[in-house]
């Protein structure tokens, strides 16, 4: 079975500053990796995904993530955050097929003006 650890439950950052949200996973097999964002009282929106190929993945809203197989990490970054980025961010993994997604507990990104 696989698992996901999001190391920070909350990350406060000032507007226009860079941010990194950390995600580590464990799995005995190759996995696909995802980052989702959840705004209050809404469902999940896919930010980006890593299936194969280049380890640097670019997503929507200026976010990017880097897959590091040796460190089993998939950290999410944004060079300059905006107040509208305030939300809950979830890292997830899947072995594919009918496996479903295994999510971390989430990181609450708090943007301070």
Residue among 67, 52, 61 at smallest CA distance from 89: 61
**Smallest separation, CB 31 to other proteins (Å):** 11
Q: Which residues contact residue 5 at a Cβ distance below 8 angstroms, ignoring those fewer than 6 apart?
A: 23, 24, 25, 26, 104
Please give the angle made by the CA atoms of 76, 49 and 87, to the nearest 5 degrees: 50
CB atoms within 10 A of CB 66: 16
Nearer to other proteins, 12 or 79 (CB): 12
**Smallest separation, CB 83 to other proteins (Å):** 22
Q: Is 44 in the site for other proteins (CB under 8 A)?
A: yes
Q: Is 46 in the site for other proteins (CB under 8 A)?
A: yes
Identify residues 50-109 at the interface with other proteins (CB under 8 A).
51, 90, 92, 94, 96-106
Q: How many residues sit close enough to other proteins to count as binding (CB under 8 A)?
A: 26
């Amino acid at each position: 079975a696989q698992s996901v650890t999001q190391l920070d439950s909350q990350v406060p950052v000032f507007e226009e500053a860079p941010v990194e949200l950390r995600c580590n996973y464990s799995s005995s097999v190759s996995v696909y990796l995802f980052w989702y964002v959840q705004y209050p009282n809404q469902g999940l929106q896919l930010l980006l995904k890593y299936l194969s190929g280049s380890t640097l993945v670019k997503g929507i809203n200026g976010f990017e993530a880097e897959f590091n197989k040796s460190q089993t990490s998939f950290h999410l970054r944004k060079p300059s955050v905006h107040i509208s980025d305030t939300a809950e961010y979830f890292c997830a993994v899947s072995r594919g097929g009918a496996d479903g997604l295994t999510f971390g507990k989430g990181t609450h990104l708090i943007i301070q003006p």
